[in-house]
Amino acid sequence: MWIMYDCQTHNVSLGLYWKSTSDKFDLAYMNVNLILTRPSHYIWHIQRSKIEQFRLIAQRNELERLNEALLLIPTNALYIW
């Protein structure tokens, strides 16, 4: 996981990073403005193209772990008003 904060704009970027023997890449990210709090800002953006590229080269045990990790990432807004 990685976190970047811009103190001038009050934007925070959160990321989930995948690392295995076959590849490493950003699995998903979320950008949030700490001043503007709208539900649309609390959504994980899954990097589907990178995931599909990884599926072509991954070993079977890596695919199992990847699928387990993807199940833990919510695809709907984290906060609903």
The reply to whether 61 falls in a domain is yes
Q: What's the domain range around 28? A: 2-71
The reply to whether 77 falls in a domain is no
What is the model's pTM? 0.81
The reply to whether 60 falls in a domain is yes
Q: In a structure prediction context, what are the per-residue pLDDT tens digits for the chain, which is 81 residues long? A: 999 999 999 999 999 999 999 999 999 999 988 887 665 568 899 999 999 999 999 999 999 999 999 999 988 776 554
Q: How many residues does the chain have?
A: 81
Number of domains in the chain: 1
The reply to whether 13 falls in a domain is yes
The reply to whether 79 falls in a domain is no
pLDDT in tens, 10-33: 999 999 999 999 999 999 999 988
How many helices (DSSP H) and strands (DSSP E) are in the chain? 2, 4
Q: What is the pLDDT of residue 81?
A: 45
Instruction: Give the tokens for residue 54.
Output: 């990884």
